[in-house]
Amino acid sequence: MLDVHAIRSLFPILQQQVHGRPLVYLDNAATTQKPIAVIERIDAYYRTTNANIHRGAHHLANISTEHFEQTREKTRAFLNARETAEIIFTSGTTDSINLVAQTWGRQNIGAGDEILLSMLEHHSNIVPWQMLAEEKGAVIRVIPIHDNGTWQVESLDTLINERTKLVAVNHVSNALGTINPIETLIAKAHATGAKVLIDGAQSVTHMPVDVHALDCDFYCFSAHKLYGPTGVGVLYGKRELLDAMPPWRGGGEMIKSVSFEKTTYNELPHKFEAGTPHIAGVIALGIAIDFVQSLSWSEVTAHKQQLLDHATALLLEIDGVRIFGTAPHKAGVVSFNVASHHPFDIGTLLDQQGVAVRTGHHCTEPLWNFYGVPGTVRASFAVYNTLEEIESFITALKKAIHLLS
- Rounded Cα distance between 404 and 127, Å, is 36
- Closest residue by beta carbon to ligand C6P: 174
Judged by CB under 6 A, the stretch of 4-12, 45-53, 289-297, 355-363 that binds ligand C6P is 355-363
32 vs 64 by CB, closer to ligand C6P: 32
- Contact track, ligand C6P, 63-102, x by CB under 6 A: -----------------------------xxx--------
Report phi then psi at 14, rounded to 5. -75, -10
Judged by CB under 6 A, the stretch of 56-64, 145-153, 196-204, 258-266 that binds ligand C6P is 196-204
Active-site annotation holds for 363: yes
29 vs 156 by CB, closer to ligand C6P: 29
The only residue of 49, 164, 170, 178 in contact with ligand C6P, by rule CB under 6 A: 170
- Which residues have C-beta within 8 Å of that of residue 30, sequence separation ≥ 6? 358, 380
Burial zone of 16 (CB within 10 Å; 0-12 exposed, 13-18 middle, 19+ buried):
exposed
Name the DSSP class of 44. Answer: H
Whether cis (ω within 30° of 0) applies to the bond prior to 269 is yes
Active-site residue (options: 109, 211, 282, 363): 363
Question: Within 10 Å of residue 62's Cβ, how many Cβ atoms?
Answer: 15
Comparing CA positions, the residue from 328, 299, 320, 371 lying closest to residue 7 is: 299
64 vs 180 by CB, closer to ligand C6P: 180
What's the min distance (Å) between Cβ of 170 and ligand C6P? 4
| DSSP string computed for 48-73 | II---TTT--SHHHHHHHHHHHHHHH
Indicate whether 362 belongs to the interface with ligand C6P (CB under 6 A): yes
71 vs 93 by CB, closer to ligand C6P: 93
Name the DSSP class of 2. Answer: -
Query: Looking at this protein, which amino acid is placed at residue 313?
Result: A
Return the active site residues. Answer: 363
The residues binding ligand C6P (CB under 6 A) are 29-30, 92-94, 122, 124-125, 170, 174, 199, 201-202, 222, 358, 362-363
